[in-house]
Structure 1
Amino acid sequence: MAKTALARALRRSSTEAEKKLWNLLRDRRLEGWKFRRQVPLGSYVVDFYCAQAKLIVEADGGQHAESASDENRTAWLARNGYRVKRYWNNEILANPEGVFMDLLENLT
């Protein structure tokens, strides 16, 4: 499947945590920072991306715990000038305000 088609499919099948996080990030709600969701970058599709800050935000469930493929992906993104900020799904769902404030600190 092409990365663009995969990104579209991922947008349609968002997890609850991704939906909540997108609600915080969309429409420049985070102090004017523009985010896009499910964005193809290289051979990967990232959850959320702010091009101005070169910041990637990932919503991670249990399948990401100590994942070697996630480490390789993060390393590739870092080598290409991107910063990656990860939040656990339960953190996003239980403390969206804290995630919002942490993201603001990472953007400024």
Structure 2
Amino acid sequence: MPDIHIQRAHALGLSAAREVARRWAEKAERKLDMQCRYDEGAEQDVLSFTRAGASGSLQVTAQGFELNAKLGFLLGSFQPQIEAEISRQLDELIKPQDGVAAVPTAPQAGAA
């Protein structure tokens, strides 16, 4: 069976990483008909997911995410596309959302 293994480092901290993982789970349940279970730990959480033809887990820590999934025979032929989509979704959820801080502010007229 084809496997998917994705790791992403982040600087979110555990609380924000939990929120990212929960948003990913909600999207997976809604769009992919996944059944998800979220188990919190003191230093690491585990999000388990399953559906016909796929199962796996997402480990959530203060410093990173690690996703491991097994695909069944039918989904196995789509492994590259599935892996790319999961990677894209995680990257989108991890990226900074405020963007405003990166834009320099122009000096106001008359300021000295």
Q: Which band: TM-score by shorter chain? A: 0.3 to 0.5
Answer 1 or 2: higher relative contact order, Cα 8 Å, separation at least 6: 2
What TM-score do you get using the length of structure 2 for normalisation? 0.35
State which structure, 1 or 2, has the greater radius of gyration over its C-alpha atoms: 2
User: If each structure's strand is expressed as a fraction of its own residues, which one has the higher value?
Assistant: 2
Give the TM-score normalised by the residue count of structure 1: 0.36
